[in-house]
A and B are shown apart, each in its own frame.
Chain A
Amino acid sequence: AQSVTQPDIHITVSEGASLELRCNYSYGATPYLFWYVQSPGQGLQLLLKYFSGDTLVQGIKGFEAEFKRSQSSFNLRKPSVHWSDAAECFCAVGPSRNAGKSTFGDGTTLTVKP
């Protein structure tokens, strides 16, 4: 069965500092991986996605993520965080052809200090 783990429940960074949010997955084949962001009281917005090819993918708002098959990880990074980046971030895998549904991690709350 597919699963996603986000080890960090809450991350606080200072504005202008770099950011890395961790995501580990369990999947039976080559995974389809996604990072979404959610502002309070809103739906989720896609930040970036990985299907195949280059393991470093670029997304919106200056975010990037690196797929590491050997570590079953897909960590989200940003070189310099802005106050507007504060949000809930979700990593997701799938859907698999058999399951027909994606699996989301429990999310990481990102707080940005001025």
Chain B
Amino acid sequence: DGGITQSPKYLFRKEGQNVTLSCEQNLNHDAMYWYRQDPGQGLRLIYYSQIVNDFQKGDIAEGYSVSREKKESFPLTVTSAQKNPTAFYLCASSMADSNQPQHFGDGTRLSIL
């Protein structure tokens, strides 16, 4: 079945450590997105990519980095510069047309040890 796979489902980070969240899609979608969700809050856009080898900052990009070397993959690195990384992270993808909805993965919950 086509879909988006995020791994791991739970992730723990030590202080000063970088961690990478995986996002893979087999929907042949051009666009991919990373969101952060905090308890009781909506989705905040971290980064998005509309084509391979290109990506743009979202509303809260500081302390995060991404790459888009392959169409199906869009990993997110939470760096040590992100001082409050504990959150639920959601990856999504969509077709390039602006009238297409986004398809979401099941998320990764990141916690600080």
Contacts and interface: CB of A to CB of B under 8 A. Distances in A.
Are A and B bound to each other? yes
Dominant secondary structure at the B interface: strand
A33 to B, nearest CB: 10
B105 interface: yes
B8 interface: no
Contacts of A42: 106-107
A104 B101 CA distance: 12
Interface residues of A, number: 24
Contact of A101 (B41, B42, B58, B88): B58
Interface of A: 32, 34, 36, 41-46, 49, 51, 90, 92, 94-97, 100-102, 104-107
Interface of B: 4, 6, 31, 33, 41-43, 45, 48, 50, 56, 58, 88, 90, 92, 98-99, 101-107, 109
